[in-house]
Amino acid sequence: MASPSVESAAEAFAAIALAAVACDGELANLEIRALRQQLEFRTPYRHYSEKTMGDLLDRLLAILRGEGLSTLVTQAVSQLEGAQRETALAMAANLIHADHIQTPEELSFLSQLAEQLELGAERATQILEVISVLHRDSLAG
């Protein structure tokens, strides 16, 4: 039986989200909840049943566990184009900020993802900076 692979833009987008929360070697409950929230209001996921969403995440987890993070991301990137790539980077950054702790592994992941998505250094930096500003605790004393 062939290994599962990322076969559509919808799967790719979810794969990038999963990779973002898994890139530090942990899948914390807060991160999984944030992943689901990021996907559930978007098309096509908002139309997925709980079972369909669970099956999708199970397939992607199988790729992650069997082939590794790098393969999951490489397969996903090949399915995305244009604005999808920009949004995928922004969503990944948003998920990495979800727990308010950015590890060196997470920051390295974002840098590598930005390169793989081929958005251009300036555009990728803009996206990452905006997400960072969004998560800044500017009212903290």
Res 116 pLDDT > 80? yes
Q: Global pTM?
A: 0.92
What does the DSSP assignment read for 63-100? Answer: HHHHH-HHHHHHHHHTT--HHHHHHHHHHHHHHHTTTS
At residue 141, the pLDDT reads: 64
At residue 2, the pLDDT reads: 67
At residue 28, the pLDDT reads: 76
At residue 108, the pLDDT reads: 96
Res 36 pLDDT > 80? yes
Cis peptide preceding 104, ω within 30 of 0: no
Please give the torsion angle defined by the CA atoms of residues 43, 131, 116 and 120, in that order, rounded to the nearest 10 degrees: 110
pLDDT-derived band at 1 (thresholds 50, 70, 90) equals: low
Q: What is the pLDDT of residues 67-95, one digit of tens each?
A: 999 999 999 999 999 999 999 999 999 99
Instruction: Average the pLDDT over 34-63 and give the result.
Output: 94
Q: What is the CATH number of domain 9-135?
A: 1.10.3680
Which has the closest alpha carbon to 113: 7, 6, 12, 8? 12
Instruction: Average the pLDDT over 56-66 and give the result.
Output: 95
Res 33 pLDDT > 90? no
